[in-house]
Amino acid sequence: MITFSTWEWIRASGLSAYFLLFLSVCFGLIQNMNIINRNIRNVLFLMHQTAGWFAFLFAFFHGLLLYFDDYQPFSIREIFIPFLANYQPFFTGLGIIAFYSMFLIFVTTDLMKKVGRNIWKTVHLLILPSFILVSIHGLFIGTDTEETWGKNIYASAIFCFSILTVFRFLSKITVKNNRNRG
């Protein structure tokens, strides 16, 4: 029977969280574009939310497993407080910040009526810089970055993310300009 070490589980859950976060961000950006048909939007919205929840769960599992690692164990403080870790404090700190921004999104979404739409939206958009932070996190400390396929994953994800972000903001500017003219 094949068994995996804790470090392998940490890597697998980190990559899974990254991929799911990538999907969630992409579905979110696409469903927000005005050129998309309403029915497709609804499906994309559901996929956006589901991928986001699973990304959060995998990221939690990924961070927590570091506590049980024999080779480079993290204390609970090192896992939850950014930049405190002995091992790669800066790059692990970026992962922790991204994790908290996901957490904030869930909290403000649940409390949307209380916090108001503007705060909810600002917090929601925080995931865009957080995605960059988590890409740097994985790229610089991930064991799999040594492999060509590992580097390709980050390069392709950042490429798609950048294109969709530009399109998303351009589509909003075009709609605003058309409204002002009309």
Q: Which residues bind ligand HEM (CB under 6 A)?
A: 10-11, 14-15, 17-18, 21, 59, 62-63, 66, 74, 79, 85, 92, 95-96, 98-99, 102, 134, 137-138, 141-145, 150
Between 48 and 62, CB nearer to ligand HEM: 62
Give CA separation, 78 vs 68, 85, 88, 131, 152, in Å. Answer: 13, 5, 11, 21, 29
How many angstroms separate the Cα of 73 from the Cα of each of 70, 86, 154, 169?
6, 10, 26, 42
Closest approach of Cβ 149 to ligand HEM, in Å? 10
Residue 82 carries which DSSP code? T
Question: Which residue has its beta carbon closest to ligand HEM?
Answer: 142
Instruction: Tell me the closest approach of the beta carbon of residue 125 to ligand HEM, in angstroms.
Output: 16
Looking at residue 16, what DSSP letter applies? H
Residue 33 or 47 having the CB closest to ligand HEM = 47
* Nearer residue to ligand HEM within complex by CB, 31 or 135: 135
Minimum Å gap between C-beta 176 and ligand HEM is 32
Please state the closest distance from residue 73 (CB atom) to ligand HEM, in A.
Answer: 11
Which runs of consecutive H residues, i.e. helices, occur in the chain? 6-31, 38-65, 76-80, 89-110, 112-115, 117-125, 127-141, 148-181
